[in-house]
Chains A and B, each alone.
Chain A
Amino acid sequence: MNPIQVSNLTVAYDRKPVLQEVTFQMPEGKLIGVVGPNGAGKSTLIKAILGLVPKASGSVEIYGKSYRTQRKLVGYVPQRGSVDWDFPTNALDVVLMGRYGHVGWFRRPGKKDTAIAMQALDKVGMKEYADRQISQLSGGQQQRVFLARALAQDATVYFMDEPFVGVDAATEKAIISLLNELKAQGKTVLVVHHDLQTVKEYFDWTLLLNKQKIALGPTEEVFTVENLQKTYGGRLAFLDSQVSPSYVVQP
């Protein structure tokens, strides 16, 4: 069964459609990149799948059932700027929030949950920062805390919105190997990504998105000049005639 099945998804804010008739199926056990220009609706796509914004039409299924019944299978890494980092809490506490969906009403996360959360922090190299107030973490460290929280969710399908923003090159590599680890466990990871240079290196599959689905498939098949031009329009300047080396996306 498909981990993610989106059919005819249309989303509109204030009547202006942001996503139009998007239909796709994601394969299981793959690292999938989602690329597209600013405002293409990448974040909106994730939010619509997770039921955070209303769908104007269409449907979403996680392993063949509606998202509502499959919540526990899904992990989420929002864009870092979406929360107030001055909130009085520490890194461990934020990661523990990843356990809330499993704990249930009227109960507190227990020792086992704390152990899982510590393990997740360890995996992202943030164990020593468990007690650190979250506003006293660097941007990259905050991003890693969010990642650890998603790991603590112990999900099967992950949605990550720009997890590499503000992290240094070494951390980015560490995160990628972590994602590959998840993949090796048969999990499906969908990542919104901005750096076109690394798409081929990182992702098995790629979704090119600009309000509509431009292309989806194995990266080497769909990540072509033609598709990129369709996705980014005239804003893509090629430094090389070959697809692989480097592009610059102009603002």
Chain B
Amino acid sequence: MSYGTWIMLTGSLVGVSCGIIGCFLILRKMAMLADAISHTVLLGIVLAYLVSHSLEGIYMLVGAGIIGLLTAFLVQVLHSSGVQSDAAIGVVFTSLFAFGVILLSAFAGKVHLDVNHALMGEITFIPWNTLTIGGMDLGPSAVWMLGTVLIINLILIFLFYKEIKISSFDPAMATAIGIPVMFIHYLLMSMVSITTVASFDSVGAILVVAMLIVPGATAYLLTDKLLAMLIISAVIGVISAIGGYYAALVWNISISGSMASIAGLIFAATFILSPRYGLLSKLLARKSLITE
């Protein structure tokens, strides 16, 4: 496959994974927690490296998963002991992230990672960092990692779909009928963590947050059905990735930045034009009411 195809495939995988998981974050009003996790996983990556002395994907996923869960757990603990939830997120976010940055700078010589790279990502180099097993070149390792994470996410969502749905809509009812709401919460947070860390290296933390929030927020304006929202969000993720790549080629700009911008543009267009909830349709409806 060509260089461009790999990049678009990588971006699309990020778009689909983040787009789907992002819907649940929006519906559960946890966008801020996702933002926090997407940063604190840095600590997980550094710790995973210090323990394993390797930058293999699997160690990263485990490290990020653990720290992601720890973030969600600490936020929960602070919140349930009376700290406001946004303050709780702020405290946990900054302390864990800062700790990650300190570790990173202390061991900077040994770890091939820098903060800038982690935050901004560099999708441009993806195609050259390939996975080789037994001398066979299997394509970019980022694609393998993102593909694995996407499959894990899809399987978990498929298995726990109705549990995730009811505990997002009505946690009290869910608890009453015996669904382990906290388990579902941490399951989702683990999915956010591994999705983030897999996407981290290719598009960077800040743009992961964009992909987590923007496609889901757009899909929310376009449909009244949960399943449709998940699919639309994934499709918007893919369109942003492919459109972003071509836009970057044409204007010679940062690829991941351009992908996030396309997602933003799609949201803006939807916000104005959406047939149901868009500004335009609301204005028109009001006008037709007045003239009637």
A interface list, Cβ under 8 A from B? 14, 47, 50-52, 68, 71, 74, 76, 78, 82-84, 87-90, 94, 97, 100-101, 103, 105-106, 108-109, 133, 149, 153
B27 / chain A contacts, CB cutoff of 8 Å: 84, 87-88
Known: A71-B176, A78-B173, A101-B178. A109 touches B162 (CB 8 A): yes
B228 / chain A contacts, CB cutoff of 8 Å: 88
B interface list, Cβ under 8 A from A? 27, 82, 159, 161-163, 165-166, 168-170, 172-179, 220, 223-226, 228-229
A89 / chain B contacts, CB cutoff of 8 Å: 165, 169, 224-226
Asked if A100 and B176 make an inter-chain contact with CB atoms under 8 angstroms apart, the answer reads no
Asked if B177 and A101 make an inter-chain contact with CB atoms under 8 angstroms apart, the answer reads yes
Asked if B177 and A71 make an inter-chain contact with CB atoms under 8 angstroms apart, the answer reads yes
B229 / chain A contacts, CB cutoff of 8 Å: 88
B154 to chain A, nearest CB (A): 15
Most chain A beta carbons < 10 A, residue from B163, B173, B223, B229: B173
A100 / chain B contacts, CB cutoff of 8 Å: 162-163, 166, 174, 177, 179
B225 / chain A contacts, CB cutoff of 8 Å: 88-90
Asked if B173 and A76 make an inter-chain contact with CB atoms under 8 angstroms apart, the answer reads yes
Asked if B178 and A94 make an inter-chain contact with CB atoms under 8 angstroms apart, the answer reads no
Apart from A83-B169, A89-B224, A89-B225, 13 more pairs, CB < 8 Å: A50-B175, A74-B176, A78-B170, A82-B172, A83-B170, A87-B27, A87-B168, A87-B169, A88-B27, A88-B223, A88-B226, A89-B226, A101-B177
Asked if B223 and A97 make an inter-chain contact with CB atoms under 8 angstroms apart, the answer reads no
B161 / chain A contacts, CB cutoff of 8 Å: 108
A97 / chain B contacts, CB cutoff of 8 Å: 162, 165-166, 169-170, 173
Asked if A82 and B170 make an inter-chain contact with CB atoms under 8 angstroms apart, the answer reads yes
A108 / chain B contacts, CB cutoff of 8 Å: 161-162
Asked if A71 and B168 make an inter-chain contact with CB atoms under 8 angstroms apart, the answer reads no
8 A-B pairs closest in CB distance: A101-B177, A133-B224, A50-B176, A83-B170, A87-B169, A71-B178, A76-B176, A97-B166
Q: How far is the CA of A101 from the CA of B174 in the complex (A)?
A: 9
